[in-house]
Structures are given as structure tokens and as C-alpha cells.
Structure 1
Amino acid sequence: MRRWLSSLRCLGARSDADGGPVGVTASSFNMVSLEPPLMRWSVARRAYSYVSFAAASHFAVHVLDAAHRGPSDRFSRASTDKFADLRWEIGMGGVPVLPGMAATFECEAEHRYDGGDHLIMVGRVVRLTIPAVAEAPLLFHRGRYAALAQDEILATGRAAGANTSAMLCPACRTGDLMTSSH
């Protein structure tokens, strides 16, 4: 899997032990469904925060851009307080949300599946936050950070955000997903 180019995400949830924030860096993430909006990721059963994520009712997926190597490094190491000295807010379901990310999916845990040495988590996206302009993604390849050639980077967030914003309520643009009851 080291030869697989992937973008990186930091995930956050509440600790089952003390209610504090827990986090992990992951490259496993993809959309499962647009209606309803479902996404999935997986957490290693040996991860320090595995028990918290396995029991979490909500979690947040922070898509990282090239400026976010610091959070990626921090969340990839085993430690008890990955949110120490970071600015964060309380999101849907009480999850820790890092502001200023390339995108943030706040999710309600919907399904959990056995995936061998990982637990596969499927979440219903309840809030999506995207910036007005997209930066270059934070990529990982062969065990280290990687970058796209400058001419391959999509320069504007309008094109990248256009597909995503179609899922947002066009009237209020609050970031809440549009549903039949909205």
C-alpha cells in the first residue's frame, strides 16, 4: 500500500474514557453514497484511539492541504493529547473540529464493519465545511509526503467546491446538508 498515492485526513472524536478529544491521521477515506450522504474510513485496531472511535456516536474528518503537515504529523503519533495547543471548536455531536482545513465532514456514525486488523466506520455526513478557495492537497506516497507538479494543481476552490456545494442548501449556505426535510 506504500505505493498508493493518497491524500491525508485527520479524524477527531470524543474519548470514551474522559470525554476529551482524540484524533488519528488516516489515508483510508471515500464517499459511499451521495443520497444519503455517507462516507467511510477505517481505524487500525491497534491505534491508541481505537476504543474511542469504535464507540463514538459522531466523528469529524478533516481533509488536509499542503499547509497542514503539522496536524498530520501530530495525529499520526501515539499520544494522549493530540489536540493540546491546537485551536479547535466543538462540532456536531460534540466532536472536535479543527478550523481552516481543506474540508471538514462532520458525521454521525451509522455502521461499523469488521475489516480484519481494522474497523471500517461508515458515517452519515451531517455538516460539510469547505473553504472558498482550494489549496494543493497534502499527499502521501511511499512513506513520505508528496506534491503534485505545479501545473497539475487545480487552482481555484470554485471548481472543486462546485460539486460539493451542490449538496449544500442553496438558500442558506450554512454548511448544513440539504435534505428533504430541510
Structure 2
Amino acid sequence: MGLEAECTARFDGKVSDGKAHLDSNELHFRGTFRLSISLKDVQSVAAENGQLKVTFQDGVATFNLGAQADKWALKLRYPRSLMDKLGVKPGSRIAVIGVKDKSFWDQLRERTSDVADGRPRRGTDLVFFAAEKKEFLKKLDALQRYLRKDGAIWVVRPKGKPQITERDVMAAGKKAGLVDTKVVAFSETHTAEKLVIPVKRR
């Protein structure tokens, strides 16, 4: 989502100026007090007269966002699904290599039936490649050969682990002649980085 704004927040009898940030999983506020609201805990959202009111399990938080309040409310009410963020469309040809996350698989099967578990097929739209260590990234060069010209490889790696970092993925992608274009929070434990074939090579 990536919305951010300077605002005044009210929660639990406290009032503070600060910065609010809305991503795909949480609404954060940083001021004289800090607040993080998981989107899965949001019970209701209302926007009126520039005020965004968010009701969640710990109470009600209000953010004075002015003209942006309606936009934030819409994003909170209708957050994009993981499949939307990853660009999986109905009928997409997908290959999944090593990704075991059950929630991902459930959502993927609801979106498309054209899924190879393991070795990709020619003309694949998206490859989801689990890389637990940077040594795994040596396979990127071979994997891109199965992609459509406008396809992509999503490298799914553990968050905050020294065995493989964002820098490792970017470096390996560059070595394979790929360009990194996007980062998505794949799950609570994993991050996904998108690598594509440069336009000049398509």
C-alpha cells in the first residue's frame, strides 16, 4: 500500500503529532507514543470530516488526515490480497519451487489451476523460488529460461537472516542479467523480491 502522512493521532487518552504509515499488513503511528495495528485485527473503519477512525481489538484510534482520510479508509477496508501484490492473475502459468507456505498455496490454487510444483515449463508467467541461503541463487540463470519475456521470478527468502539478504538477491539477479523491481512482504517470516528480464533483452 505504502501510504504515509504527518498527522495528529488520538488513542487511549493520548494525543500526539507524528507520522502514520500504512503498509500491506499494518497501520503504524510514531509520535510521543507508538501504535501498530495489524490489519487482520481491524474491526471497522470510518472517515468523516478529515478524521480516520479505526476500531480494533485494543480500542479506537483516530488520525487527523484531512483530505487523505477517505483514501486511507478505502485502503484499510479493501487491502490487496497477496495474489494481487504478487501479480498472479486468473489463468497465469505458475511454477513453485520449494515454497511450502500453506496460505500461499491455498490462495494460489484459488487464483489459477496452471501450476507446476517443481520444474517450470516453457512460457511460465511467474516462478516462485524459495531461497533459504544465498547459494540457492545460482539457479536464477537457469530459471529465467523458462519465463515468458515479460515474466518474473519471485525470490522468496527468510526475513532478517544473514544467510541470505536483499543485497545478495540483487547481486545474484544482476549477475544473471535480471533487474529487481519490487519487494513484497510474503508472510510474517518471509520476504519476496521480484526479478525481471530487462526490456532491452525481451
Task: With the length of structure 1 as denominator, give the TM-score of the two structures.
Answer: 0.25
Of Structure 1 and Structure 2, the greater strand share is in 2
Task: Please identify the structure whose Cα radius of gyration is greater.
Answer: 2
Q: Which structure's relative contact order is higher, taking Cα pairs within 8 Å and 6+ residues apart?
A: 1
Of Structure 1 and Structure 2, the greater helix share is in 2
